[in-house]
Amino acid sequence: MTTLNGSFIIVTIMTYEGGVDNATQVMGSYLYMNAFKFGKFSYGSAIGVLILVLSLITVAALQRLMKRETIELT
């Protein structure tokens, strides 16, 4: 999902580490800070798995909602 990556880039470029009191923190930047800045690699990978699961649930729900009925012509 491009919104996960896009929001990470925006937060990284526009604010310094999530802004004042982490007001603009998103999941991607939270993962990055915990894994690579604080050295909590296991916590960072757990956040990554959570992002993956949420992405898969979202994609499955969208595919189910956008499913089209096939029209048979006789």
In percent, how much of the chain has pLDDT > 70?
88
Distance CA(4)–CA(40), nearest Å, equals 21
- Supply 73's token pair: 């012509």
Judged against a pLDDT cut of 60, whether residue 15 lies above it is answered with: yes
In percent, how much of the chain has pLDDT > 90?
34
Question: What pLDDT, on the 0 to 100 scale, is given for residue 4?
Answer: 60
b (16+ CB within 10 A) / e for 38-48: eeeeeebeebe
| pLDDT confidence tier of residue 2, bands split at 50, 70 and 90 | low
Lowest-confidence range among 5-14, 29-38, 52-61?
Answer: 5-14
Distance CA(26)–CA(11), nearest Å, equals 8
Distance CA(34)–CA(4), nearest Å, equals 17
Q: What is the reported pTM?
A: 0.75
